[in-house]
Structures are given as C-alpha cells and as structure tokens.
Structure 1
C-alpha cells in the first residue's frame, strides 16, 4: 500500500484542499492562533461588492490601530481610515494575490512620529465569502529611530561635531537637484597648512584643539544658509551662496583667511597658521564628487599661488595629462622604450666634433613624440628622474664604447649627460657614474656631467661633495644654462667647475641685442679668468658661430651644425667633420 503524500497547509494550519473555515466562521484553533501572535494581526476579506470586511483581529491589532488614529478600521470602516493607502493595499491584494503585499507608513510628525509596516499573507478564496488575507502590523519605530541615529553618527565628524565628507557631498547633491539653485552656489575647500608639523611637535591633543578652534573660526565668518563640514584630516568644505557670481566665493575665501590671521593659543603657546582656499563654481548637471575634487585641485593651485584660486578646467586637463604621462613614462622606462639622441658639440676653432650631448627622446606608440620639456618635469615631480637619469648615464657610456668598437680605436670625443637637481639631492651620483664607467669600460675623462645652477643653490654643501666625487672619477663638470639661475662668484670659485654653458636665450639675441652681446662677453671673460672653457647653446646661423669664435668661445652646439641625432647617425656625423 502506497503511503499518502504529505499535504501542504495554510498559514493557520488548515490542510490545503479542505473547505476553508472562513466560509462559515473562524475556527476555534485559528482564533486561538490569531490571538497568540506576538504582533498586531487581523483577518480581512473582500465581499462580492468589493468592500473590505474585517473578519477578526487580536487585541494587539485594536491597540495598534487606536494609536495610529485608525480606529475606524477596527469598527470595519475602511473608507474612513486615516491612512487610505492601507485600504488600497488590502483591496488590490485581495483582488490579486500577486500584487504588492507590504507597505511602510508613518503616523505623526517629528520626534513623536511612529513608523509601521503592514504585511499581507493570502488565506485563500471562497465563492461565498470571497478572498481573505492575514494582515500583520509591525511597529518599526525603534528600528527607524536607531537607523536614523546611526545615520546621523555616520554623517557627523566626531571631533568637531560638523557634518563629514559624506554629509557634505549629500548637501552638494541636494543643491544640484534643487531647481535654479545650482548656479547660485560654490564649493570652497579650506586646507589647514603645515598641520602635520604642529601635530608632530605639540602632540595629538594640541592638534585636535587646533582643529576645533579652526572650525569655530570658520563658522564665525559664514553666512546663514552656508554649509560647513570637515571633509578630511585638516581639510574643511564650505558650500556658499554666490548671488553675484564667483566674486562672492572669493570674498568668502578672503574672510576666511582674514579671520585666521589672529594667532591661535594652544597649550600656553601662540602659533600662527596658514590656510589655502580653493573654489569651484557649481553648475547644473555636475557630479558632486567631481565638483568637490575640482575645489581640491584649486587648493593645490592656491598653495602655489599663495592666495585663493578658482578652479580652471584647462589647468585640470593639464594636470590629468601630467598624471597620464607619469603612468606611461613609468611603463616606457620598464620596457626600455625611450631613446638617447646625441647633439654634436663643435670646436669653434677647428670645426671638428669635440663631443656630444646626450638627450632623452620619447616617441609614444599612441601619442607620438612627447617633448622633453613635458616629460622631464613630470619625471622630476614623480621621482622617476632617478631611474631616467641612471638609464641615460648608462646608455650614453655604452654608446661611446660601442662607437670605439665600431671605429676600432678610441674616439677623441666625450659625451655629456645632464643631471637633474632632484638626482643630485636624492641619488648617490658618484656610485651611479662610477658603475656606468666600469660597466662600459670608458674612462671618466670622456664623460662630462652637466648640472644646472639650481642643483647647487638648493644644497651647496652636498653639491660640493658631488662635484668633488665626480672629479675623483676624472669626469668633467659643466654648469648648464649659466646666467639664468642664481649662481654667485663664490660658488664658481669654490666648486671644481670645468665648463660654463652659455644659455641659448643670450646667444640667440646676440645679432640684434647689444645687451646680449655684453652678457656673453662678460661670461667669456669670467670663464677665462677662472680657467674654465665655454660652450654656447642655440647656435642657429653662421654669423653666430663666427662671432662666438671671434669672442673666444671654445665650443658650440645648435641647429646650424646639427639637430640631435640617433647613435648611428651621430657617429657618421663625427666622421664627416673629421679632418685628416
């Protein structure tokens, strides 16, 4: 004999397929279960005329409906209830059990408001009494209040009590979505400068005290309706109204800076602080995060300018390009995609090639040729200049050794390699140059290391040590772009400099500017007095070459002689100018 399959049951324990107890009356067991439910519950039906009928309910339901002001439901008057959406929900559900079965609603306002959730569950249909459903009412007031409190904590800065970054972004988003308000507001980002130094020297408690006092001063200069938030460790955001355009935002920035001029008293000490303010004007359709980042970008510009700055899209585009170039340059160095070109240096008396200056060139597979004036500053800013400088020194040394091998003799030329001021400050120059000389097998006397004046001025003591270490390797030391920096005669006397390179800005103007001629004469006389040789940059005509030679300049380089050449072409150029 086959066992009977288990039969499903309704929510009240009635086996499926049996006659519904609601066709006559509510069963005693079901009644007991309804009363035993720990939440407010009732059974509601829909008669043939489409009118809601309250079949039965437990005492908790009566209490809940009374507190919500919907005692009319208890009396069976659904059309007279306060929350008509409840009646609509029940009517729609009883007509179609597939329709929405839940509804959240609030009774009252403010702190005294109560929050409920109505849930419906089908109990079946009958031809005589129509469809029925179980209605449960859940009081969510404590849950909602807890969520609200947690959200308030999530949107508040615990130290200053101000809104935090998330809350500030939501304020921006709200203003952007409010009709006609977007263009009337601007975002200011205020950065407390050198905060880390104060924190480190005076301790974390003093740092917290400074932030709290700083925030209070910010609040004192804001107008009604402005929004202040702490958006970072030492960063604050301000949402201001600008009825007369961006000038109002700059006025607010000036007020902020003015109020910060007074010293702060911390731990019985008076300190002065500085702040940088960046401004970004709000426009309809902007992304809140992008707007905030624009103001942060303006802060960086303000730090450089020393005064509040308004965000300029063109500068941001340039900054993004620099960042992109940094990423691509890092990859190019890893894949050895850069090349060294060599510009000939001509002995102005003999006309022969005395050496070559090694110059980095980069042809990107998508962007095409990227100028050194663009990627070298990016390399210096990012620190990639150390890797780039070591690569150039090693490549130039080995290229000179390769030329010797191709000719079968030691070429009477040297190669010049530029060093950045960042390299001089951060790298071990002597070890780096020494390793390149050893690995290539060339002598230091065939290497000229070119440094700018800024590398000397930044740290004269370190520069002296670097110069002396290079001289110990028999390398020649040249000061590049002489006359454009801050060199003094004292440096020229103290440092073992062999060559002064006269900047192209003086050389190119010689034929039409008497002042340029006078400057070049002075540099040549100075070099002669100090026992140094000279190299003129930017020679682009025979007249310049002839004049410089007549004035006693040792060598020169420029497009008149040759542009920078690839290694093989540079060797051919040396051969073509060699006098037998």
Structure 2
C-alpha cells in the first residue's frame, strides 16, 4: 500500500467526518435532518471505507471489494455524490467507483481469480461481507451462474443473502443459500427471465424492474436491480413504496378537482378522446356528453359568500356521483360513466355505452329532478337548478373540443329558453355553429383588412332645421351575404374580442371623413361626428391614446367628436368610468349617454359623470302619441337635461307628430327616418350644400 493510497484514505475519512459534522451543525440550528437519511449515511460510509480496506487485502478479499462497490453504486450512489460535491474529490472518484466493465479489463486492478472458485471457500470473507450487508436497507442476493456441460447458463445458485432479503422473501437464508433460485424462488423468475439474466452477464449492463410484492398479507413496491458480479449476479431489492404513493398522489392531483374530488378537465378530455376512438372502431358503440350549468350559482355565491358557493359545488358533485352509480345504464364496452368539473359551476358527464339519445335524455331528466332539490348551507335552504346541453356521438366527432363546444351551445340554448331544462344538440344547431365559425373567421379577416365601411345618419338642430352633424354607423360589405348591419356582426365581434380594433378604425375613419367635409365645405365647420363606443373599448388602456392620435392626425377639433355610450357601460364599474370620462372631458371630447331611460337610469349618477348630451331612446319617441306617460317621461328628461346644462337628442323620429311634440318640449336635436336614413359618404353632399337643409322638415 503506497503512501498515495494512505493519503487518499485519510482524505476519505476526513471527508466523511466533515459531512457528519456539517449535518450535526444543521441539527443544532433546528433544521432537522430527515430520520431516514442517517441509516443511509452510516451504511454508505461503512461500505465505502470497507471497500477501501478490502482492496489492501488478499486477492479473495478483492472480489468482495468489487461486490461491495457494485452494491454501493446501486444503493448509495446519492451519498457518494454528496461526498463528492462536499469535498471536491472528483479526481479520485473513478478509483473509488470502478466502471461496470469486468474487473479484469481495468488496468489499475489485478485480474482476480474466478469468484466461484474463491468465494465459497473463504468463510471469513463471507462473514465479513455479511456483516457489511446486514445494515443495508435493501435486500441483497449474490448469485452464481450454474452452467451445463456445454457452458450455457441454466440456473443460478444463491451464495449469499442478507437479512433484509430474508424479510422481503419470507425465507431464512439457511434454507435458501446453495439452492437454485429459478426453481426455488418463482417470484425472482417472474422479475427476470433466464435470457435477461444471461444478458446481464454477457453485456455487463444492469437490469432493472419494479414490482408490487406481497408477503404474509402485506404488500409493498420494490425496485429490482441485477448487476454483473464475476460469473454471476448481485441482486438488490429496494422498497420504493413511499415513492409509488407519492407518484399516485401526484397523478390523482393532476387529474382531479381539488374542491369536489371529481375528475378535472384533463382527465375528462382524455377519457372522451378514448370514447371517440372506440366509436370509430365499433360502429355499434355510442356515448353522450351532458354539459351542466347551474342557473342561480352566481347569485348564491355573491350573496352568501365563496365558502357557501364551495359547499354548494361539493353537494352538487356528491349528487352527481350518487346518481351515476345508481343508473340502470350498464357500461357494456367502455370504461364507465364519468362525471367531471370543468371549472366554476360547469360540470360535464360522459355517458358510456348508451342505446341512443333516449338514454341520455332520460339521465338528464332524472338529474334535473335530483339536482333541483334544496341544499342546506349555513342554515340557508338553497335551490340551484341545472340547464343541460346534450351531445351524442352519432354526429361523428373527431376531437373532444368539438363535443364540448357543441354541448356548451346546447346548454346555452337551454338556459336562454327558460333555464332548468335540457336541449339536445341536433343537426340544425350544428349547421348554425358551423355557419358561426365561418362568419367568425371571415370577421377576423375583415378586421385585418379593414374591410368595413361607414354610413352617416344626419342629426338635425330642431331650433333652425340646420344640419348639426352625423352619427357614424359601421357596415360590413360581406362578400357573399351582402351589406351586414351592426346587429349581424357586432355581438360576435364583442364575444371574440375584436371590438377594440374595430372601434379604433371607426373613430379614425369617422374623423378622417369629417375633416374632409370641413375642408370641402367651409360653411359647415361646425359639423360634429358621433361615434358609438363599445363596452370593451370603454375601459381599454388604448382608448385615450387612440383618440389623441386620431385627433392629431386628422386635425379635427376635439369638441367636434362625440362619443356615445350606453348607461349600463357606465354603471358596470363607476369608478373606472369616472376616470376615463374625466380624461376624455380633459381632451375636449363631447360625451353622450345613449339610450337614456332603458338602463339603470340613476338620476343621481348624472351628477357623477361628466355627460354633455342625453340621447332619448327611440322606444320612448315611438310611443309618445300612444301613451301619455311616455310623453311625460320625454318632457321630464328634457327638463332635467337642461337644468344640468346638458343637451338632448331624440332618436328614431319618424312622423310629423313626433317632431312637433319634440319641438314643443324644446328638445335640442333629433335624428331618424323623418329626416333621412343613414347614407354612404358620397351621398352626404346633398345635405352639406344647403345651410338649413332640413328647415322645412323641422
């Protein structure tokens, strides 16, 4: 043993002591070291030191060193890694842990005699090895290959078995050592075949597997590892039950809703895809999806609090589970019926292996009865009915997303039809959905290409019949459907989030056109342009910068731009609305409350918002001659507005009688069919060429 070897051993011992001191110090600072770490450390360092000692002994002991290091490398590799990182002794680690190549191929180690010739006869060495392995937390077997007359391996003889292996296998070592394992130990044969065992010897590559092993009524998961050891194997059994439990918990958490315990969207979509694939393979197989939304959940959640809402959702989940268990719809082909929670108060059910839509409808009817029963939450009796959309597999779906989309569509149809009912998605609804998807794609393309146009409806001054301005109204010249009115595409644009770019284009185009008219008709520079603001635009951060940019680019005076907004937009978030309207007022833009009288109509709110003009809804104007109370309302609005220094515009004026009444009530402006419908920009010049073009009409 050279002086260099001695120095290496001293460094190794010092490293071990250093690690233990660090861990001890961690413990004194009240940062506990996990209890399970200590046996690994003690056993690992014992084997580590013993391996170095064995290398200095006889050639027979050298074989034991190889075994120790093989077992150590499989079981305690993380300890060595920790030592290496802690001490930086990477340069001598290769010597400490030789590669998996046969020992005779390593130049630094003399070729040992065959293990089968030495190991059985060296009782003292076996006792030494057994004492080392006794403290191991893993079961260890040392096996010698048994060969036939022509040298082929036919079995393995057990040469050594530690105490942990005895506990795992349920047999004492005395009754097993010296026996052929493939005959005496079927569980080992189930883990590794003879051909696989021979492959480990021939290639030197380890074999690994995992198995749930039951002994004496107790079961546990073990990792099985076999590595080459001379002309045999070193086999270890490591208990990985804790890891398996953790993995199972993670899998469950990844596929289940934490509140209700039901499967979540990910698991439901996975099972739904399996059902789709099954329906393609088996034409007789049918399934259905029920999409449930609870009609009064938001009211309950907002009034009683989120805890009450959670209790309600948990109660709903329990009822869904209970009802699906008691269904008399046996799943004959698939994996069974599956309820799931998508999120919020949206639940879905996969009905597996049904006999047509009748089964799905029958389940929906039963669920609606059961789910409408009251829940008792914090002393309150709560009722929340369900609207259910039903989709069956007979429409030939390809993806789970398509099914969920159509089930959601059917559910929404049920909700808008009166709630607490179910609707089956049919071919007509399918065609409507396809048509809507086409329109959505075409609308997106239209936004990218700015493929819209504006029409302009005159606004008339009722005092002198002069032209006061125009309301800009967007139109979409659709390539196949003709000129579409706002009601035919604006709701869709709002739903898919396109109203901000569309609204910005309308403001820009309206101001550009107004500037063109101001330039062409110098006597009409007092003309104003009114633009409707969408709900999404109102609180969008780009609104103010967009208006500032458009006014700067076009040169339109800010006071000539009027922005119209409905009452509900202001009431949704009054504080934010006050801030935005204040910024617009600072710019000089005029603000119009549109459809006044149809929304919240809080008179006190008129003091909070910097409104310049009130616009009376056309429903009131159209009924002033039919109902006297409507005339009184219009009169009151005009008086109120004037007292608050606001002006009034009446829209939807169609008859002489309506016009005469508005003039008698001292209304400021009017627009409607009595004067002119909205017209394209090139037809506006006939109004601009006469200063008081509507004097006779007014």
TM-score by length of 1: 0.61
Counterpart among 402, 412, 419 of residue 533 in structure 2:
419
Aligned pair 1:278/2:388, yes or no?
yes
Secondary structure of 1:426's counterpart equals coil
Residues 423 and 218 (structure 1), Cα distance of their counterparts in 2 relative to 1, 3 Å cut? farther
Aligned pair 1:554/2:659, yes or no?
no
1:572 shift after superposition: 2.7
The answer for the alignment partner of 1:70 in structure 2 is none
Give the alignment of 1:180-259 within 5 angstroms. Answer: 187-190=289-292, 216-225=321-330, 227-229=336-338, 235-239=348-352, 248-255=362-369, 257-258=371-372
Q: Is 1:340–1:360's contact at 8 Å kept on the other side of the alignment?
A: yes
Aligned pair 1:298/2:400, yes or no?
no
1:293 shift after superposition: 5.2
The answer for the alignment partner of 1:567 in structure 2 is 681
Secondary structure of 1:489's counterpart equals coil
Q: Is 1:457–1:487's contact at 8 Å kept on the other side of the alignment?
A: no
Q: Is 2:364–2:388's contact at 8 Å kept on the other side of the alignment?
A: no
CA distance in 2 between counterparts of 1:223 and 1:453 reads 53
1:431 shift after superposition: 1.8
CA distance in 2 between counterparts of 1:158 and 1:406 reads 67
The answer for the alignment partner of 1:492 in structure 2 is 606
Which sections of structure 1, spanning at least 5 residues, go unmatched?
1-156, 265-271
Q: Is 1:425–1:455's contact at 8 Å kept on the other side of the alignment?
A: no
1:306 shift after superposition: 5.1
The answer for the alignment partner of 1:395 in structure 2 is 509
Give the alignment of 1:56-95 within 5 angstroms. Answer: none
The answer for the alignment partner of 2:484 in structure 1 is 370
1:338 shift after superposition: 0.5
CA distance in 2 between counterparts of 1:400 and 1:291 reads 49
Aligned pair 1:310/2:418, yes or no?
no
| Per-residue deviation, residues 53-75 of structure 1 (Å, max 9, x unmatched) | xxxxxxxxxxxxxxxxxxxxxxx
| Per-residue deviation, residues 280-322 of structure 1 (Å, max 9, x unmatched) | 3759x64255777543422344566653431354555444433
CA distance in 1 between counterparts of 2:412 and 2:449 reads 32
Q: Is 1:337–1:362's contact at 8 Å kept on the other side of the alignment?
A: yes
Residues 174 and 259 (structure 1), Cα distance of their counterparts in 2 relative to 1, 3 Å cut? farther
1:247 shift after superposition: 5.8
Secondary structure of 2:476's counterpart equals strand
Counterpart among 521, 532, 540 of residue 635 in structure 2:
521
More helix by share: 2
Residues 174 and 214 (structure 1), Cα distance of their counterparts in 2 relative to 1, 3 Å cut? farther
Aligned pair 1:428/2:537, yes or no?
no
CA distance in 1 between counterparts of 2:598 and 2:293 reads 34
The answer for the alignment partner of 1:134 in structure 2 is none
1:336 shift after superposition: 2.1
Aligned residues: 412
Residues 214 and 438 (structure 1), Cα distance of their counterparts in 2 relative to 1, 3 Å cut? farther
TM-score by length of 2: 0.51
Q: Is 2:294–2:385's contact at 8 Å kept on the other side of the alignment?
A: yes
| Per-residue deviation, residues 486-533 of structure 1 (Å, max 9, x unmatched) | 120111111111111011111112222223222212211221222211
| Per-residue deviation, residues 14-57 of structure 1 (Å, max 9, x unmatched) | xxxxxxxxxxxxxxxxxxxxxxxxxxxxxxxxxxxxxxxxxxxx
The answer for the alignment partner of 2:396 in structure 1 is 287
Q: Is 2:372–2:384's contact at 8 Å kept on the other side of the alignment?
A: no
CA distance in 2 between counterparts of 1:245 and 1:223 reads 10
Identify the range of structure 1 (382-391 vs 402-411) with the bigger mean alpha-carbon deviation.
402-411
1:541 shift after superposition: 1.7
The answer for the alignment partner of 2:447 in structure 1 is 333
Which sections of structure 2, spanning at least 5 residues, go unmatched?
1-253, 257-262
1:224 shift after superposition: 4.0
